[in-house]
Structure 1
């Protein structure tokens, strides 16, 4: 079997296995066949959540050469699956309650068909985006799917449009916040470490401080986003958790940095290696938090379906243990089978990353989501992470241009072409400036990713409306 066909074969076997398992256990309710169909849709969605979203956490680490692709896939699959199983979001029907107006006129069967169409539509769109290497918001995709299917089933008045408006605002807010925090981190590290005459001495002081800051932010991030199912410490408790984690991070990092920096050359690329271990830890924690939160993109609609079909009679939206297990396995398989394409896009095709820049991206992603949660603002982890990569690239580009215009900087040999040899100095500088822009941030990728973000919700909505119409025609 050709290597490019093998991942699709493994994914198909996984979907068939999930369907077979549920078919053998589906005995409750009047419509168990819909549950089987829904589980296949949820498993397909989980595969695509893993395939596309893995780039948020592992793309910068791979781009910085802190992790090989194989190591990144293994780490992400393990921690994503652990997050989904151990701290998976409490899959109540918050999506349906927030997006659909009460009394929307949907019967139980209609609501089930809406959720199935939403899952398939979101998964198809994410699958297509992954194949072309475009990182998109899986949350926006499932929201678009629910909106489109609901309009097809019950009309435009059944959707809570103010909620959609808030989500649309987050399209702009998420990448801007991520870019701002990442640019701030990068500028700070440049000022206190990499631009100092004695970089090693500066790193011994500031790297432990930055690790402590990262540890505190991630502790609060996990307490807020990933462990809220088991523990809700409140503001004071969350701050205490952050302070304790920061203190532990500093105490661990201080002797390690001093030991690693003994005899280290006073060069930026050598000092950057001190950021490699905290970058790997950050990527693993982001993966755990992703599994804990975004597994609900597949399980949330499935929970509604199980309730409406009475597959598990009783109050609430309890799920059988196999449901999160299938979702966790789907996310892990999606990461391993289809993750590399989008990882390459985020880690290598936007801007050049090293350990320091990737550390800025990872830390700013957690800080952005934490800050947005504190103010009750919905943000996309994909938009935040990719925006942070662009933020690091653009701040570097700005500083490079400022340096060239503020002093006589020799033209980079790597960017010189034959036509520049006859240029006057000002012409050479202008050409160098244009080349430096293209070298630091790829504008084409910015346009492609931005277009994919804008199109995600309406494309998922249109697909879901089409699938919903087909399902209604087949079941009536």
Structure 2
């Protein structure tokens, strides 16, 4: 069998990511038009309030709910391919069941694990304690939401893929600087968040590469491939299920004994089901079992975990600012505490975007990221999920897409290392091929870096301008 050099696979995988970003731009057009309508509606609300003297607090709630709902739909529509694309492309799960699974997992992640990121965005970027008795805090967060929405709408219109997480962080910082002054902005926290945006793709790359090496050495290149698959794949899926169930129980504050009690039967059930699936595939193709079929249970599990992680991290972009808006009207009292209903509402908004627009996006990405090799897709998905969940536990908003690109790099470099280890590349690459590889990889690194370098100052400026406008109109 001809062995494909790892460097070509990496370049193709990076090309698929690029194809997915282009497809997102086209699939997002209906949401983009909705965004224009939302911005027009919010502008109209501001004008009506200015002319009628309506209560500023009620306007803040109305405008905040409208913009936050649109951002939730945009998040769900944009990022569904990250969670679902590889598994659908590998035939592990159907499109409609996959969309339902991602939507439900996202809501669960938002409610159970979204509080830390939401609290960070609600009170960690701008110190809100001095504003607790005044009316500027709700207006500041409405302005931050508007600034982020304006940038996402404009960027989508010109075909520039940007991160909602990056946008809302910049919007809060800019609006907070105007509402309370530069001293109220937690610059140290901003620096930590920005550095995490660069570190998380590297972490995901290391995890994905390590997992690929494990699969290649223990299963793909094992002397008895069938026996190795029957041993390692059920163990891997069972361990994933056990750890994930224990993590969920810990989030529910039920204690370590309950976590162990949940992990044992869940892991055992996942191990048994995976073993049955592997045995069926080995019975059909005893000489050359399909890697895609062997990894089907693992891919479905990765969809569940990544959907949960996506909801846990991205709901903060909605729930964090919105909780401050509601607190201004006495609907939420404690600073830095996000009500469960707000988390659930944010999760439902994301799920709505997934269900309404996710099918269109996954179809459009059908010839791109969804055709990622099943083994590499599993490694990237699981590494992305673990990295995003870790960031969520620390209360740090990150870009799921950028983390996934880091995973792509990780599996590519791991394949190259494995190729060199087994001596499959006896000839050095031509100089022009080496230069091309460097340029391709550099372009993706530059894209990731530029995304947050450009988005932060632009959304901070837009948030500041929106805050000036809102404060002027409301007279707060």
- Residue 76 of structure 2 contacts residue 352 of structure 2 at CA under 8 Å; is this kept in 1? yes
- 2:58 is the alignment partner of 1:32: yes
- Residue of structure 1 aligned with 2:253, choices 232, 235, 243: 232
What does 1:269-280 correspond to in 2, within 5 Å? Answer: 270-280=290-300
Give the aligned partner of residue 60 of structure 1. Answer: 86
The TM-score normalised by the length of structure 2 is 0.76
CA RMSD of aligned residues (A): 4.3
Q: Which stretch has the larger CA shift, 135-144 or 360-369?
A: 135-144
- Residue of structure 1 aligned with 2:72, choices 25, 41, 46: 46
2-structure distance, mates of 1:266, 1:134? 47
Deviation at residue 388 of structure 1 after TM alignment: 1.5
Deviations 1:79-108 (A, max 9, x none): 434554687648975533322236556863
Task: Name the SS of the counterpart of 2:196 in structure 1.
Answer: helix
- Residue 11 of structure 1 contacts residue 333 of structure 1 at CA under 8 Å; is this kept in 2? no
2-structure distance, mates of 1:435, 1:94? 42
1-structure distance, mates of 2:332, 2:387? 40
Q: Do the aligned partners of residues 105 and 303 (structure 1) sit closer, same or farther apart at CA in structure 2, a change above 3 Å counting?
A: closer
Q: Do the aligned partners of residues 339 and 144 (structure 1) sit closer, same or farther apart at CA in structure 2, a change above 3 Å counting?
A: farther
- Residue of structure 1 aligned with 2:123, choices 87, 97, 120: 97
Q: Do the aligned partners of residues 305 and 171 (structure 1) sit closer, same or farther apart at CA in structure 2, a change above 3 Å counting?
A: same
Task: Name the SS of the counterpart of 1:99 in structure 2.
Answer: coil
Deviation at residue 307 of structure 1 after TM alignment: 1.5
What does 1:327-338 correspond to in 2, within 5 Å? Answer: 327-337=346-356
2-structure distance, mates of 1:191, 1:318? 45
Give the aligned partner of residue 380 of structure 1. Answer: 398
Give the aligned partner of residue 470 of structure 1. Answer: 469
2-structure distance, mates of 1:73, 1:33? 34
- 2:223 is the alignment partner of 1:163: no
Task: Name the SS of the counterpart of 1:261 in structure 2.
Answer: helix
Q: Which stretch has the larger CA shift, 245-254 or 74-83?
A: 74-83
Deviations 1:425-463 (A, max 9, x none): x68x52796499489x76534432332143333332222
Give the aligned partner of residue 355 of structure 1. Answer: 374
- 2:415 is the alignment partner of 1:396: yes
2-structure distance, mates of 1:291, 1:98? 20
- Residue of structure 2 aligned with 1:193, choices 209, 219, 223: 219
Q: Do the aligned partners of residues 348 and 380 (structure 1) sit closer, same or farther apart at CA in structure 2, a change above 3 Å counting?
A: farther
Task: Name the SS of the counterpart of 1:108 in structure 2.
Answer: coil
Q: Do the aligned partners of residues 201 and 180 (structure 1) sit closer, same or farther apart at CA in structure 2, a change above 3 Å counting?
A: same
Give the aligned partner of residue 145 of structure 1. Answer: 171
2-structure distance, mates of 1:234, 1:137? 36
Task: Name the SS of the counterpart of 1:168 in structure 2.
Answer: helix
2-structure distance, mates of 1:193, 1:387? 24
Deviations 1:398-427 (A, max 9, x none): 444666xx4566xxxxxxxxxxxxxxxx68
Q: Which stretch has the larger CA shift, 137-146 or 430-439?
A: 430-439
- Residue 59 of structure 1 contacts residue 343 of structure 1 at CA under 8 Å; is this kept in 2? yes
Q: Which stretch has the larger CA shift, 59-68 or 251-260?
A: 59-68
Q: Do the aligned partners of residues 272 and 346 (structure 1) sit closer, same or farther apart at CA in structure 2, a change above 3 Å counting?
A: same
- Residue 48 of structure 1 contacts residue 126 of structure 1 at CA under 8 Å; is this kept in 2? no
Aligned pair count reads 440
- 2:139 is the alignment partner of 1:121: no
Task: Name the SS of the counterpart of 2:283 in structure 1.
Answer: coil
Give the aligned partner of residue 423 of structure 1. Answer: none
- 2:267 is the alignment partner of 1:246: yes
- Residue 192 of structure 1 contacts residue 202 of structure 1 at CA under 8 Å; is this kept in 2? yes
Q: Which stretch has the larger CA shift, 54-63 or 125-134?
A: 125-134
- Residue 173 of structure 1 contacts residue 379 of structure 1 at CA under 8 Å; is this kept in 2? no
Deviation at residue 38 of structure 1 after TM alignment: 1.3
The TM-score normalised by the length of structure 1 is 0.76
- 2:471 is the alignment partner of 1:452: no
Deviations 1:369-393 (A, max 9, x none): 455677x584626143332222113
Task: Name the SS of the counterpart of 1:380 in structure 2.
Answer: coil
Deviation at residue 464 of structure 1 after TM alignment: 0.9
2-structure distance, mates of 1:437, 1:341? 32
2-structure distance, mates of 1:133, 1:280? 31
Q: Which stretch has the larger CA shift, 173-182 or 393-402?
A: 393-402
Task: Name the SS of the counterpart of 2:124 in structure 1.
Answer: helix
Give the aligned partner of residue 256 of structure 1. Answer: 277
- Residue 365 of structure 1 contacts residue 385 of structure 1 at CA under 8 Å; is this kept in 2? yes
Deviation at residue 53 of structure 1 after TM alignment: 3.2
2-structure distance, mates of 1:50, 1:199? 39
